[in-house]
Chains A and B, each alone.
Chain A
Amino acid sequence: MSTDVQEPPPGAADDPDEVASEVALAPPDVIADSLGEYVKIWLSRIRNGDSGALPVIAGLVVIVIYFQARSSLFLSAGNLVNLIGQAAWIVMLGMAEVFVLLLGEIDLSIGYTAAVGGTFTLWLLLPPHPAPWPLAVLVGLAVPAIFSGLEGVIVTRLRLPSFVVTLAGQLLAFGLLLEVMATASPNGGGSIRLYNNVLTDIYAGSLSPLASWIVMAVAVVLVGALFLVRDGSRRRSNLTAPPLSVTVLKIAAIAVAGVVVVLIGNTNRGAGLTVVEGVPWVVPVVVVVIVAWSLLLGRTRFGRYVYAIGGNAEASRRAGINLNRIRVLAFTLCGLTAGIMGIIFASYLGSVSTGVQGGQNVLLGVAAGVIGGVSLFGGRGKMVGAVLGGFIVAVIYNGLELLGLGAAPQNIWTAVVLLAAVTVDTLARRRSTAA
């Protein structure tokens, strides 16, 4: 093979099995030097159950084709914008869970804490004396962040399982929701309305079609430049970088996705004489969070420690990492992200209600992460996985709804997909520990 980075001398101690398992487990980015080889290595990795995002995307495409075949409305602009709306809050909950799943923990409380945060925000925005909306948003983010942070403190200080602590947290948060709602909206019948145009516009408002194109183009150019500059500086430093063809393909895929989203958004989805077009604000909001959290996990010391603790907590401790601090911070970020979801959800529904399915929503978030390849055992997975997983869950719900099927098949099919994802995760883990 011609891919050796350090040119082992002939006869170096390497039995063939060992080389094969290395090829199977190393990311193709680092050992392939041509597109063909990249694909080959990548395929062997899929067989080992550690495959990255593409199989998830493939699954998503299959499901989309199926629904389009069953209902021509599925890929209509109106429905796709609707789908993006449904996916956004599931994706956001999924990203929240990624922080704790990577540690091998879980946070079951965020479905309700997000609603508590949303209630606070909407309460502050009530007429006749609404607070400035940024302040209201800040409070709505801080409440779930602090709540989850305290759960993290209990989990780390008392060494209790996060499953139980956050299950208690879920009950407590539901109680808090009822309590806060009774105070905030005594005559609202258990719900509080959103009275702020800025927040309403997250879902209801759109960028103008021209602005949609410009924002998308700028974003794609920035991401592409980032990839190319990074590869370039690696090559200049004599380090291996992914083959140019692979990087170009990645950038092209992102550009295509961007163009598709803008095309969908810019198609008039209004009924009759009203014109509704442009990409809804929720899309850039979610994209900004994805990018920020991906950078945080992938490029900072904190992110590295999250993965390290999820992979081997004892090794991390011996390396001098303050485990408790990282864990509490991860729980706090989980809560913060849930707070963003709470506000998006309030914008989606135009209100927050005590009838929110906080227990089920959080499980959809966990499902989104796991379907997207985030391991329940910690240490493996990426933010973008939660995005893809969230879309799969949303497509299943949206598609079955479009086919006029009710809650029963929605839940059943989500269960099937989730089970499949957990099976893949567990088998991959078993194989890697057996190796």
Chain B
Amino acid sequence: MTTPSADDARPATAGRASAPGPEPSAPQQPDAPTPSTPEPENPAEVATQAPATTASNGDQPLLRLVDIGKSFGPVRVLTRITLDIPVGQVTAVVGDNGAGKSTLIKTISGIYTQDEGQILWQGRQVHLHSPKDASDLGIATVYQDLALADNLDIVANMFLGHEVVKHFQLDEISMEKTARQTLADLSVVTVRSVRQPVGSLSGGQLQAVAVARAVMRQAKLVILDEPTAALGVTQTRVVLDLIKRLKSQNIAVIVISHNLTDVQSVADRIAVLRLGRLVAVGPTAQYDAESIVDLMTTGTSKRLADVPAEPSGSSSEH
């Protein structure tokens, strides 16, 4: 699945090159691509891009996207997306409708193949041609519809397609134990029994089961598509706690969300997409809700000028 390539070193170099800070110039290496916003309009914006490509040499991000581009026919959906997904952190991808969030996560999860750019998994270039390629690497995507069968119980759903079979029979006992352990590890304590049909669960519990299924298959990166979109206040809290729990287990998390309150409470880093371009990436603390909205809608934010720019992207390095 993973194909080491001669290009391995290049993106790392490019990353370091573009890392140092606020100056609005493109990196100087001849072969290095320009950063995601080719015509930076103000220093603050460029400053926000810096952390996108920061990683020290020995500390590879789990996933690195380099200059990802994708078009559907004449429509350009993604343009030169360069983004790092570090281990043990929650990266929120936000953007208005049509900003390219879905296309981006579908590219990462192997449903689409990018037209341009590279995907590096633990520093090695990989080619994701199918969802199976991605899941073999340890990338698990939990889509909004969760893909659970209401009529089956929690155990059956978590093992669907990967059942444990002993003597031609389903080994219910070992599956049930594993399922219970996984849920317990994620502190999912509100389900009465792992033998109840998922049709009887609440929205937050459903989300938890879907996430637990991903974690159980040794996912290293979990992508959550609008995990709180349909949930009430209490259920949302359950899911946000779950995301924090994933993080503490050293799993990288990407959250796609429209809900900026949720994003700010759970994400370590925010990546803002607008019209297929990455207009800002940085630690969550750097943005307030209004600046994110500004970035999502106009691609820039005057407010950011007031915020002290992150010094040379070093804050996200360790």
Contact = CB atoms under 8 A, between A and B. Distances in A.
Interface in A225-239: 233-234, 237-239
Given A307-B151, A308-B152, A312-B150, A18 B193 contact: no
B240 to A, nearest CB: 11
Given A22-B196, A27-B196, A239-B176, A432 B190 contact: no
A14 B192 CA distance: 11
A312 B148 contact: yes
B173 A25 contact: no
B151 A29 contact: no
Interface string B193-207: 111110111101000
Contact of A27 (B148, B156, B195, B237): B195
Contacts, number: 132
A3 B190 CA distance: 12
A22 B234 CA distance: 17
B80 to A, nearest CB: 30
Interface string A111-134: 000000000000000000000000
A239 B201 CA distance: 20
Nearest to B205: A18
- Size class of the contact patch on chain B: 35 or more
A3 B152 contact: no
Q: Which of B146, B173, B238 has the most CB of A within 10 A?
A: B173
Contacts of A379: 149-151
Given A300-B169, A307-B152, A315-B148, A240 B238 contact: no
Interface in B194-233: 194-197, 199-202, 204
A13 interface: yes
Contacts of A240: 193, 195
Nearest to B236: A13
A321 B193 contact: no
Q: Which of A22, A238, A300, A321 has the most CB of B within 10 A?
A: A22
A13 B238 contact: yes
Nearest to A6: B189
Nearest to B177: A237
A412 interface: no
B183 to A, nearest CB: 7
Contacts of A237: 173, 176-177
Contact of A301 (B170, B180, B234): B170
A4 B191 CA distance: 8
Nearest to B146: A315
B235 interface: yes
Given A25-B197, A237-B173, A308-B156, A12 B189 contact: yes
A8 interface: yes
A229 B68 CA distance: 57
Contacts of A30: 153, 193, 195-196
B189 A31 contact: no
B160 interface: yes
Contact of A315 (B147, B202, B204): B147
Contact of B190 (A14, A25, A234): A14
- Size class of the contact patch on chain A: 35 or more
Contacts of B163: 301, 304
Contacts of B191: 5-6
Contacts of A13: 190, 204, 234-235, 237-238
Contacts of B161: 316, 319-321
Interface string B158-174: 00111101001110010
Nearest to A9: B189
A3 B170 CA distance: 26
A299 B152 contact: no
A159 interface: no
Interface string A38-68: 0000000000000000000000000000000
B184 interface: yes
B292 to A, nearest CB: 27
B147 A318 contact: yes
Q: Which of B156, B170, B202 has the most CB of A within 10 A?
A: B202
Q: Which of A5, A19, A29, A432 has the most CB of B within 10 A?
A: A5
A310 interface: yes
B168 A300 contact: yes
A246 to B, nearest CB: 14
Nearest to A322: B161
A29 B192 CA distance: 12
Contacts of B169: 299-300
Contacts of A234: 173
B170 A299 contact: yes
Contact of B192 (A5, A238, A315, A320): A5
B199 A432 contact: yes
A21 B200 contact: yes
Contacts of A327: none
Q: Which of B147, B193, B235 has the most CB of A within 10 A?
A: B193
B69 to A, nearest CB: 27
Contacts of B146: 315
Contact of A25 (B132, B184, B200, B235): B200
A13 to B, nearest CB: 5
Contact of A319 (B147, B151, B204, B238): B147
A314 B148 CA distance: 9
A26 B173 contact: no
A22 B191 CA distance: 9
A63 B146 CA distance: 44
A112 to B, nearest CB: 31
A318 B238 CA distance: 25
Contacts of B196: 22, 25-27, 30-31
Contact of A308 (B145, B149, B183, B199): B149
Interface in A213-259: 233-234, 237-240
Contacts of B147: 312, 314-315, 318-319
Nearest to A303: B170
A6 B183 CA distance: 10
Nearest to B194: A5
Interface in B132-154: 132, 145-153
B160 A7 contact: no
A248 to B, nearest CB: 20
13 contacts: A6-B183, A22-B196, A25-B197, A26-B195, A237-B176, A239-B176, A239-B180, A299-B169, A300-B170, A304-B160, A312-B151, A316-B149, A318-B147
Interface of A: 3-9, 12-15, 18-19, 21-27, 29-31, 233-234, 237-240, 299-301, 304, 307-308, 310-312, 314-316, 318-321, 379-380, 432, 435
Given A26-B195, A237-B173, A321-B160, 13 more contacts: A5-B192, A8-B190, A13-B190, A22-B201, A30-B195, A30-B196, A31-B195, A237-B177, A238-B177, A304-B163, A304-B170, A310-B151, A314-B145
Nearest 7 CB-CB pairings of A with B: A319-B161, A25-B200, A26-B196, A311-B149, A30-B195, A311-B151, A315-B147
